[in-house]
Amino acid sequence: QDPQSPEAEQFRLAAGQVPEVPFGLSSSAAVLAHYGSSANTVALFRRVDSDRRDLDMNNRDVDAKKLTRFVRVNELRLVTEYDPVTAVGVMQSSLEFNLLLITDKMSPKHPERMRKFRAAAELYKGKILFILLDSNLKSNERVVSYFQLKKSQLPALAIFHTPDDEHEVLTPDEISIERVQDFCNRFLQ
């Protein structure tokens, strides 16, 4: 509640370490009531799945490092890159459908693929969680093998329904917005 408190200072330090995530600080009772928050609570609002995660900073040793980790673990972006840190947030998402773009981030075609994948993600916000999986990361090898894919078959799109593990894989020659839409619509039906 006190914008000059040590907790508020740690909050400001964390905000400086995660510039791509908008931060706001309020001591207004009306704002706290509007969001159903209590004093010294960090509320992380995720636009991708309209979910919220709270971190109570009362009676805890929460510093900027722990706060930054809380944000990194729980944030989900329009396209979330899957790695050991974001895996927790991905697994806890309320969205039941996940679409993975499994690709080599070092490929010269990567920026264009991502542009098209992000554009398609806009169309399914709140319905499908779009995830980028870098096939070069050793920690992602298990996911690639789960979909029974070889490096020679990449890039690939893999969509799955989390409650029943039903999934489908597409290995297109090229990633396009239309191809992603067709693939998603077919699976959703």
Strands 79-81 and 128-134: parallel
CATH number, domain with residue 56? 3.40.30.10
Same structural domain, 107 and 54: no
Last residue of a domain, one of 24, 48, 74: 74
**Boundaries of domain holding 119:** 80-188
Q: What is the pLDDT at residue 15?
A: 93
155 preceded by cis ω (within 30°)? yes
Instruction: Answer whether residue 1 is part of any domain.
Output: no
In this prediction, residue 185 carries a pLDDT of 96
In this structure, the answer to whether residues 62 and 103 fall within a common structural domain is no
CA distance 96 to 44: 20
Domain count, the chain: 2
Low-confidence ranges of the chain (pLDDT < 50): none
Does residue 20 sit in the same domain as residue 107?
no
Structure confidence at residue 76 (pLDDT):
82
Q: What is the pLDDT of residue 1?
A: 62
